[in-house]
Amino acid sequence: MVIVPMADMFNHGSIPNVEIHYDEEGSCNAYTTVDVPAGSPLLICYANPYNPSALFAKYGFLDENAPATFCKIMDIIPSTENRNLGLSFSRMLFYHENGGISEEVFDVLLFEHLSGEWQTQKDFYNACMNGDVDTKAAYHQQYLGDVMGRLKKHVDTFLIELDKLDEKAASKDIETHTRIPKILAHNAFVREAFIRVKQNSIDPVVGYE
């Protein structure tokens, strides 16, 4: 790790306006990527802007302008195939503003759902990898209820766990545990994204039970 005087003073931004480059001699150069008005902050992206939880854990701040958050599905065993389909913190996303769900979430979950049907799973995977949009869409339509049901269960369960975490945090002494307000703010950001996903993308398909 290298600390660069002045350059390490740039703040984080989900939409950065500065890029850092190193020349052949190892000198660090910072360039603006857009016209920046006088007095405006210069911003770089510290890490993946689509995973504010990781930024919070590493740097101790919440990026409230993050456009999305990782969907928090952590019970899938990684494989070459599901990684190719998008199994990663930066691609399996719940969008904060509109409650949308990234395509990779659907692809990975359907691939896992088809694990008991080897040939069907293989055909779906090949359709994804070969850009066969029609075949891929047909599989998604056929198994939409199963995948959305899995998503509903995950979102409902995660929201309950968030409430429990908040209750536990609220029982602590803020004077002793000074990060609690930031933790609660992070949980609120994630909760908002999950609720919007539930209201806008899941419940209209599987119902409100």
Q: pLDDT per residue over 91-111, tens digit each?
A: 999 999 999 999 999 999 999
Q: φ and ψ at 28, to 5 degrees?
A: -95, 130
Q: Can you give the pTM of this predicted structure?
A: 0.81
**Both structure tokens of 67:** 């456009």
How many angstroms separate the CA atoms of 66 and 58, rounded? 16
**Amino acid type, 163:** D
Question: Residue 190 corresponds to which amino acid?
Answer: V
Instruction: Tell me what percent of the residues of the chain surpass a pLDDT of 70.
Output: 95
> What is the chain's mean pLDDT, rounded?
89
Instruction: Report residue 40: phi and psi, to 5°.
Output: -85, 150
pLDDT at 8 over 80: no
Structure tokens belonging to residue 123: 């055909």
The 8-class DSSP code of residue 39 comes to T
Report whether pLDDT(63) > 70: yes
Q: What is the pLDDT of residue 1?
A: 43
The DSSP line for 50-91 is T-HHHHHHHHS---TT-SEEE-----PPP-HHHHHHT-STTT
What is the average per-residue pLDDT within 30-57?
82
| Strand bridging mode 93-95 / 68-70 | antiparallel
Structure tokens at 55: 């930024």
